[in-house]
Amino acid sequence: MSEIYNIYCDESCHLEHDHQKAMVLGAIWCPLDKRREIAVRLREIKQKHGLPSDFEVKWTKVGPGKKGFYLDLLDYFFDDDDLHFRGLVVPDKTKLSHGAVSGQDHDKWYYKMYFDMLKVIISPDSRYRVYIDIKDTRGTEKAAKLHDVLCNNVYDFSRSVIERLQQVHSHELEQLQLADLLIGAISYLNRGLSGNAGKDALVSRMRERSGYDLTRSTLLREDKVNLFVWRALEFVQ
């Protein structure tokens, strides 16, 4: 039987008029049969630092006071061979010109970017269950559309490869919280931010352990931290 993977997706600054320059889409994935072991380990790290097991990890909470906790989470990601990350960075949304592409608006472009982010993860020889963080009231419609786009682009008309695409609340899934942390670090760096000692330390550790500066595309077959920096009017990876 083909192996089943869970993919946990999140996004940062994805809206067209949110006054944020850079957008990041990202996903953590792991084998289905390892999901519980990973979730338990992440809860143990919370408890080690005196936090309740249901504490929700979010990039917006990162600060100097819990720096050690967040560094431990980041190190765990790099130490566990079953965890992988893929991210797509749009450095400057102000350069987008949807009108220059026939029939394209921000929503259609967004789905294209999501597919470009996920296509490196998805293999026709495996099966996938995709979980996305609930963001807004259009979530159900957006999730259904995204599932259609992903399946159609890999000729998965029977949905035997991408079995499901489901909305979830981030506080329910430790892996999704970890994805939020990695995406947040990449977004923070690519937006040119600094000055928060906790966040600065996480960005530095992520760059050190990944071996990449996180502002440029990695090699296509990079397996641990795979990053694609998309630029307007350029061919996608």
- Asked whether residue 158 is assigned to any structural domain, the reply reads yes
Arithmetic mean of pLDDT, 146-171? 89
Query: Kind of pairing, strands 84-90 and 225-229?
Result: parallel
- Asked whether residue 66 is assigned to any structural domain, the reply reads yes
- Asked whether residue 236 is assigned to any structural domain, the reply reads no
Arithmetic mean of pLDDT, 76-98? 87
Query: Kind of pairing, strands 23-31 and 84-90?
Result: antiparallel
CB atoms within 10 A of CB 33: 12
pLDDT in tens, 166-220: 989 888 899 999 999 999 999 999 999 999 999 999 999 999 999 999 999 999 9
Number of domains in the chain: 1
- Asked whether residue 48 is assigned to any structural domain, the reply reads yes
- Asked whether residue 41 is assigned to any structural domain, the reply reads yes
pLDDT in tens, 92-101: 776 665 554 5
Kindly report the CATH number assigned to the domain that includes residue 20. 3.30.420.10
The mean predicted confidence, pLDDT, of the chain is: 88
Arithmetic mean of pLDDT, 71-76? 98
Task: Select the more confidently predicted residue: 100 or 125.
Answer: 125
The reported pLDDT for the residue numbered 146 is: 86
Find, among 182, 186, 148, the residue nearest to 165 by Cα: 148
- Asked whether residue 234 is assigned to any structural domain, the reply reads no
- Asked whether residue 43 is assigned to any structural domain, the reply reads yes
Q: By the 8 A CB rule, do 8 and 73 touch?
A: no
Domain that holds residue 158: 4-229
